[in-house]
Structure 1
Amino acid sequence: MNLSFQSGFRNHFSTEALSNALPHGQNSPQRCPYDLYAEQLSGTAFTAPRSHNLRSWLYRIRPSVVQSAFEPMVVRNAVSEPFQSSPVNPTPMRWGALPMPSEPTDFIDGLFTVCGNGDVRTQSGVAIAQYAFNRSMVGRFFYNADAEMLLVPQMGTLTIRTEFGVLQVAPKSIAVIPRGVKFQVLLADVVMQARGYVCENHGAPFELPSLGPIGANGLANPRDFLSPVAAFEDETGVFELVAKFDGAFWRASLSHSPLDVVAWHGNYAPYQYDLTLFNAINTVSFDHCDPSIFTVLTSPSAVAGTANVDFVVFPSRWMVAEHTFRPPWFHRNVMSEFMGLIEGVYDAKAEGFVPGGASLHNCMSPHGPDALTFDKASTAELKPEYLDNTLAFMFETQWLLQPTAQALSAQTFEKNYMNVWQGLDKKFSGVYDDVE
């Protein structure tokens, strides 16, 4: 399968791995070229508005119905929905990086669900996981009927072989696999281990945020999103297809590889994006901008301006502001925030928040810079400063994020996270009279 791409965010692409494999209108023969099967994959309702209607036509060697019946299976650390079994603790939380497995473990078995919300049956909310694995998926394929999957590598380059072609995603890049698309994750590095994060988006598909007063340019540019060109394999043997369906995992057997799409056209396809191409918009006068200014992708909800989930990135960037405190301020928010760190140091935390780690600040839970960061920022010389070698991100959602029992009992869970703010002593210097 060749590694090549086409540019644009959800453009209508036409691509074929064999010449003239795509039928063309009324001139098409009764049978597809090369005796392929036509199969439509719809990511939205048939009657969705044209501007949001997502579907692709796949021309494949065998239709997807050629498989066995599904049977249930268990993926030990990928916790199934729903996430509302008990009240959510409002205390801010933090985790270290997920340790690498000691036994051979592929992407599916390396998933570790940290938190989630919503309901897959009503198509709302998210599930958020870390992953760590040391083995490529061999003879095994996966699709998620519940959600599209946003993969954020922190260590190790991934080769993601999909029905539509091949993605190769390194740290500082992301991949989005639409709901229902079959894929296989391979290790592309000599090191043969990988770690990162996954957001399962149960709501509306990710889209680019509206730029509003920003204008025509800025943030993530549509041309920088890459979708694969058609690439197929025609292999027979014993294969396993794993499905995530209704919050549970299922397996079916196949006698052929499901990555047998010879040609496709449409606007429903996997894509990747290089986060270093993000055009950060920042303040040049006063105050730290709301983190929404760093939104790469958004899954909108029924409430305008309130996301089911936003994917927000904090890259290397210039900090230029006058007479003001530059790091993120102390804050309480109606949204719930899950943060991860890909490299370097996050500018609101002096220590403890490590690459591969995570933090959770739920609705109205207070958070902000730790004591060391506050002291440094309060006395720093206010001159243009370039924040270098840093890349953090956030999944922000309108729903409460329920941590899983395994996340709360994990060795990586920091029970004393609240101590990072205990050095914020009283500094009030005003003089006042006692009030009787």
Structure 2
Amino acid sequence: MKKLVILGGGESGIGTAILAKKEGYEIFLSDKGRIKDKYKEVLRNIEIDWEDEQHTESRIFEADVVMKSPGIPDNTPLVKAIVEKGIPVISEIEFASAFSKTPVIGITGSNGKTTVTNWIQHVLQEGGINSGMGGNVGNSYAKMLAEEEHDWYVLELSSFQLDGIKNFRPKIAILTNITPDHLDRYDYKLENYVASKFRIIENQGEDDFFIYDADDENIQKWLKGHKVKSQKLPFSLVKTFENGAYIENENIVVKINNTTFTMPTQDLALQGKHNTKNAMAAATVSQLLRIRKQTIRESMANFQGVEHRLEKVLKINNVLYINDSKATNVNATFYALESMESETVWIVGGVDKGNVYDDLLPLVNEKVKAIICLGVDNAKIINAFGNCVEMMVETNSMNEAIQVAYRLAEKGDTVLLSPACASFDLFENYEDRGRQFKNAVRNL
């Protein structure tokens, strides 16, 4: 019986345990932190041996294979020790993919991947295709494989999940964009992070498809120096293609092997340049899967968007409050500020992942009237934007930030939570941050 050790008792760890149990592995799960009660309940129910708040190394080193949660960096002493002993360390995505022949649509990128994943799932469901959605959003891939039967899987994939693959091969791979993010995990080298994203296509063959943003400098630079085996389907706001997606007379045009889909950009459910690109990626997949054009158009127009991503919460005294808590990096916040059409009170801050704020300066000068810092350490934000705005206030709770915003915002303004940072200094995660924002606004 093969021995599997699972490091981390979160969504991917528990999903792996469920699938591994079904596949007959001997399993030991170990988490250095506290495992949530709902996950402990699952482990007890399926009778898995586990520990938390410690790592018993002697037991971990007995493994034939180790599945490491994406949150654990490769350079931790324990992971290094496992590798030195010649024990393979893989991700949940890699482990799960060995037990399935069902085709996968894999979506990665610094920004937009959750929106694209949800949008594709929406179109597939409207088109009558039995698809399951998960990965970095919702259920883990392993858990879905163990518990549900689908004809396609739509998986959001983070660079950390892709770092641990060996044979994983999506039928359709999507790369939304690459901007500096998580550089703290990649020795502060952009090229390491870019290489990590491109792992999504490393096992693809000529029957597979690669959909990507042809306007993205980092993607273009990588493609110039590397060969791609799969069929390329680029999308762009400024170029045109024989095969791919582009803009013509304010219409999205998707061309694949002499079939053409068109739709006016003004009919898209989500507006803004970045959402036009997200729509192109989703429409390209829909065309590949031969969903009826009318269904694609309707699904592109009635998609509800993603919680915590430019989510309009309420209008109070003619001030609009927008929750963009999912903006955990500078580029995501760039899109948010770019789409603001009124004077903006901007709530920003959290755990900085090596952010460089220079790109935001023109937008902040143009659109932002006041900045509210929401973080434990705001020095970098104050240094970057201190000269751009007349009002800058430091807060250390969401309620305080909203009270300040309420006082500063005037009729016709927008209050935007778009932190450009991770949330772990004051919140459990970006969802918790976004929910606290919405509750504080509703309580005004």
TM-score clears 0.5: no
Between Structure 1 and Structure 2, the one with more helix by share is 2
TM-score range, shorter chain: under 0.3
Higher RCO (Cα < 8 Å, 6 or more apart): 1
Which TM-score applies when normalising by structure 2? Answer: 0.22
Scaled by the length of structure 1, what TM-score is found? 0.23
